[in-house]
Amino acid sequence: MINNNLLPNIYGIFEVKYFSRNKIRMEISKLKDNSELISDLKNNLNKIKAIKNYKIISSLGSLTVEFDNSQIDSNLMLGIILKLTDLEKEIFAKRNGRIKMNFHNLLNFSDITIYNKTKGLFDTKSLVALILAIYGIKKLKTTPSLPSGATLVWWAYNLFNK
């Protein structure tokens, strides 16, 4: 068995559970209860002569492949499985973390709230830009040291224009 720390895993897409010279066991979320993909995968795995045996558990999304390591390398077999399950697109797709998504949802909610409370006068972006502009101008008048006040005015300008 190969060191578990070196196994390629991508959260929510696939996880290699066991990896040796002639056997790979993976959990592939896309396989869970996906009879069409499982059928295609079975057809394609049957065509590969180096594969001795395979087992698919659809309820778990588990795939175990036993193969002849004299004909095919284990890393290549892993690549073949990823190709046959069409996971390349999902692996390289841009994903957002849950914190980023929750923060984005919070900003959207605050945007709606501010828009409603100000009866359409402001949204979050314009309100923050106005506050930064006012605070920046005030700071420039009281202490004209750069960059603090000028930076705030610049930020406000950018918020209004982008």
Tens digits of residue pLDDT in 2-48:
445 556 677 778 888 888 888 999 999 888 988 998 999 999 999 99
DSSP state of 107: H
Taking Cα atoms as reference points, which of 79, 80, 74 lies closest to residue 2?
Answer: 74
Query: How many residues comprise the chain?
Result: 162
CB 54 within 8 A of CB 62: no
Give the DSSP per-residue string, 74-87. HHHHHHHHHHHTT-
User: For residue range 106-136, what is the model confidence (pLDDT) as tens digits?
Assistant: 888 888 998 899 998 988 888 888 888 888 7
- Given this model, what pLDDT does residue 42 score? 93
Compute how many other C-beta atoms are within 10 angstroms of the C-beta atom of residue 11. Answer: 8
Confidence check: pLDDT of 95 > 50:
yes
All structural domains of the chain: 4-92 (3.30.1360.40), 100-161 (no CATH)
Prediction pTM value: 0.56
The predicted structure's pLDDT at residue 145: 64
DSSP 130-141: HHHHHHHHHHHH
Interatomic CA distance for residues 94 and 82, integer angstroms: 18
Nearest to 97, CA basis, from 109, 105, 108? 105
- The contacts of residue 156 (CB under 8 Å, 6+ apart) are 129, 130, 131, 132, 133, 136
pLDDT (average), residues 67-76: 87
What per-residue string of b and e applies to 108-133 under the rule 16 or more CB within 10 Å gives b? eeebeebbeeeeeebebebbebeebb
Q: What is the pLDDT of residue 1?
A: 47
Res. 64: pLDDT tops 90: yes
Q: Is the pLDDT of residue 138 over 90?
A: no
Contact 114, 127 (CB under 8 A): yes
Token digits for 137? 């101008």
